[in-house]
Amino acid sequence: MKKIIVLLVAIMVHVSVSQAQTAEETQIKSELKAVDKNDPNAKKEKQDLRKELRKLEGQDVSSTTRDQFKSDFGNTTAAKWKRSDYYDEASFTKDGAASTAFYDANSKLVGTMTAKNITDLPAKALKIINDKYKEYTKKQVSFYNDNESNDSNLLWYDKKFADTDNYFVEVSKDGKNSVLQITAKGEVSFFSDMK
C-alpha cells in the first residue's frame, strides 16, 4: 500500500512539473508573438525569449533536426551533436574540412561554418590583411555559407550578422584577440573582439 501511495505521489509531482513547464513554454511562445517588430529592442527581446524557450525544451537535439541534417548533408554518421543556447549544432567533416551546421528552433538549417586556410581568402582581402594586420598573428579562418532560404541570422562571437556568405579570420596582437569579417568580394572589416 505504501508503495502505491509513493508511486501516485511521484506521478502527481511529475505531471505537475510537466504541466508547469508546458504552461511556461506556452507563455514564452505567446510573448514571442506579441513582440512589436517596430520596437528597436525587439531583436534582443526575441533572442532572450528564444534562449529561455530552448532551456525549457531540454538539452537533447530533436530527431526532426537530425533528420533534416541527413536530408541536407546525406548520411554523415560521424556528426557530433550539441544543443547551444540558440542552435542545434552538428559538427562533421565535409570534403576533408571540419564543418558545423547550425539549425534553428524549427529544425531549419541557418548555415554552415567550415574551417579554411588563410590562402582560401579572396586575393584582395589577403592583401589588405597582410598590409593592415601584418603585425598580427593570423589564427583560425572560417567560411560561413548562409542558407538563403532561412531568414534567421547566425549569432557568431556573440554578435549577429547579415544573411550573407562571409569569411571570418581570428587575429591577435599583444594579447588582444579580434575577429575580421571578409565578404566574398574581398572587403575586410572589423567584426568583434574575442572574449
Q: What is the pLDDT of residues 11-36, one digit of tens each?
A: 544 444 444 445 555 655 565 556 66
pLDDT at 78 over 50: yes
Which pLDDT tens digit goes with each residue over 88-99?
999 999 888 999
Are 45 and 97 part of one and the same domain?
Answer: no
- Degrees, nearest 5: CA angle 95-158-118: 40
Are 19 and 75 part of one and the same domain?
Answer: no
Question: How many domains does the chain divide into?
Answer: 2
Are 22 and 76 part of one and the same domain?
Answer: no
Q: Which pLDDT belongs to residue 31?
A: 59
pLDDT at 56 over 70: no
Q: Which pLDDT belongs to residue 101?
A: 95
pLDDT at 183 over 50: yes
What's the chain's average pLDDT?
A: 80
Are 189 and 96 part of one and the same domain?
Answer: yes
pLDDT at 190 over 70: yes
Residue-range definition of the domain harbouring residue 156: 63-193
**Among 16, 31, 57, where does a domain finish?**
57
Q: Which pLDDT belongs to residue 123?
A: 96
Q: Which pLDDT belongs to residue 36?
A: 61
| CA dihedral sign of residues 138, 110, 87, 37 | positive
Are 109 and 154 part of one and the same domain?
Answer: yes
Are 85 and 150 part of one and the same domain?
Answer: yes
Are 121 and 138 part of one and the same domain?
Answer: yes
Are 85 and 27 part of one and the same domain?
Answer: no
Are 109 and 22 part of one and the same domain?
Answer: no
| Of 183 and 44, the one with more pLDDT | 183
Q: What are φ and ψ of residue 32, in 5° steps?
A: -60, -45
Whether 65 contacts 107, CB under 8 Å: yes
Are 68 and 117 part of one and the same domain?
Answer: yes
Once rounded to an integer, what is the mean pLDDT over residues 111-131? 95
Are 28 and 76 part of one and the same domain?
Answer: no
The enclosing domain of 177 has a CATH number of: 3.10.450.360
